[in-house]
Amino acid sequence: MRVLLVYPEYPDTFWSYKYAVGFINKQAAYPPLGLLTVAAMLPSEWEKKVQDLNVEKLDDDQLRWADYVFLSAMAVQRESVKEVIERCQKLEVKVVAGGPLFTTEGEEFGEVDCLVLNEAEVTLPLFLEDLQKGTLKRVYSTAEKPVLTETPVPAWDLINMNHYVAMSIQYSRGCPFDCEFCNITFLLGHKPRLKNRDQFLGELDVLFLNGWRGKVFIVDDNFIGNKAVLKNDILPALIDWMKRYKYPFKFITEASINLADDDELLEMMKKAGFIEVFVGIETPDEGSLKECNKNHNVHRNLVDSVKKIHNHGMQVSAGFIVGFDNDPSSIFDSQINFIQQSGIVTAMVGMLNAIKGSKLYERMQREGRLLPNTSDSNTDFTLNFVPKMNYSDLMKGYEKIVTTIYDPAFFNRRVLEFFKEFKPLRKRLTTHELNLCYLKALFKASFYLGILEKGRLSYWVLLLKTLLKHPRFFPEAVTLAVYGFHFRKVFAFYQIKNNTDTLGEC
């Protein structure tokens, strides 16, 4: 059996980092971890290839080679998914599909030959058994939440690691919280399910032995969902592992803001080599936080919480949302002021959207407020529901936020605010940060940001002030400036698209 595992292309979004990765001669930020894990579950005698469309194009000969094309995707990859399915149909290649997009919206993809939904540890063996017997069903689905202790190590041999900025691993699935706009609990449940210590460290061993050095993204939706196991088992072992291997990795993950409430956990994560954590801030407005059931963000000084995490050597990147029913007219200025004061450099601001599988989607459906928009991007000036705020005011306010916070002067000021609070574990620049690839990135950044961009003066001011006040953070200053360039390019694309669409409607 010959299987081609295809990972669809991301559109231009904040998350794609499309305009940033090229500065260090990479093709994509992260590898297709889900597909690589599925590949490791397939029979060893099968021929398997992985084609990540964010790295390389897909040609017809590759499709003809395959007996089956396996697709896994998130909602934002929808357009690329449709293109791949259409090409497979023309060449009469069978498609097997799974992942979040198909689990929540499988009924939209009648062209797919077989849907293997939910978590592959449960449904993939059922598919493989029926395939062997010649009794395939079209849909394999289950409500069962598998333990992760039998999940295999991803098939890293199927990709070229050099294409990516960071490698990815998974430690847990599920989130103890239940935010209204999120569908994670629908997909993965409330109770975090964990890999064990030996399994987790074993996956790091494999990355290390494959020659990987640098960033590793622990992709859990909430890494600190079970603090007790982290503090008593996983982190002590990880701290020892990192010391033994001389700190080959820098960890990135996602967590809830209550991380800031636990000094011991913060210090352990710092010692273990965590350098960045994505936090869902969403909004500084408590009425809107209560509306979306983000109660763990309520009754706290969010700016102080962010700075405390910075003080423990982890950069906070964060998601922000506008469009809640309770948003006041002042929310746009409040968001700008909060982002600037907090020093959150990588601030990803988007429009609220009601995604399938979320309680928000169910509420909008009950209230008759759903719209047919299915762009799946929260940065493109579209909504899939009728907002309480005047639509025009909401769009203008959103544009004001993003135009302001990504403006080079505002953005670079925020970088310096972050450096005031940032206290990482390691003080000296590593070889990884000083290698030829990163020196080339500095020259590219200086050309594009320091010569071509309109805000070029603020770029040089950032570098000069960093050298004078925070010299050890010089690589971070260049990296973050490049992130700002990426955010501006993405937002400019959607501004142009929105204006064109508006003109077309007129």
User: For the chain, what is the total number of helices (H) and then of strands (E)?
Assistant: 21, 14
- The pTM (predicted TM-score) of the whole model is 0.95
Give the pLDDT confidence of 277-292 residue by residue, as tens digits: 999 999 999 999 999 9
User: Do the domains 2-140 and 165-405 sit in the same CATH topology, yes or no?
Assistant: no
Give the pLDDT confidence of 359-412 residue by residue, as tens digits: 999 999 999 999 987 666 767 788 999 999 999 999 999 999 999 999 999 999
Nearest to 156 by CA among 88, 216, 96, 197: 216
Give the pLDDT confidence of 133-180 residue by residue, as tens digits: 999 999 999 999 999 999 999 999 999 999 999 999 999 999 999 999
8-state DSSP, 165:
S
Supply 12's token pair: 């231009």
The amino acid at 424: P
Q: What are phi and psi of 118, to 5 degrees?
A: 60, -140
Domain limits, the chain: 2-140, 165-405, 431-505
DSSP states of 412-423: HHHHHHHHHH--
Supply 117's token pair: 């939904």
Contact by Cβ (8 Å): 173, 192: yes
Nearest to 63 by CA among 39, 91, 38, 35: 91
pLDDT at 340 over 90: yes
Max CA distance (Å), the chain: 70
The CATH homologous superfamily to which domain 165-405 belongs is: Aldolase class I (3.20.20.70)
Q: Which fold has domain 2-140?
A: Rossmann fold (3.40.50)
Using alpha carbons only, what angle is made at residue 239 by residues 238 and 244, rounded to the nearest 5 degrees? Answer: 95
State how far the Cα of 187 lies from the Cα of 81, in Å rounded to an integer. Answer: 20
pLDDT at 132 over 90: yes
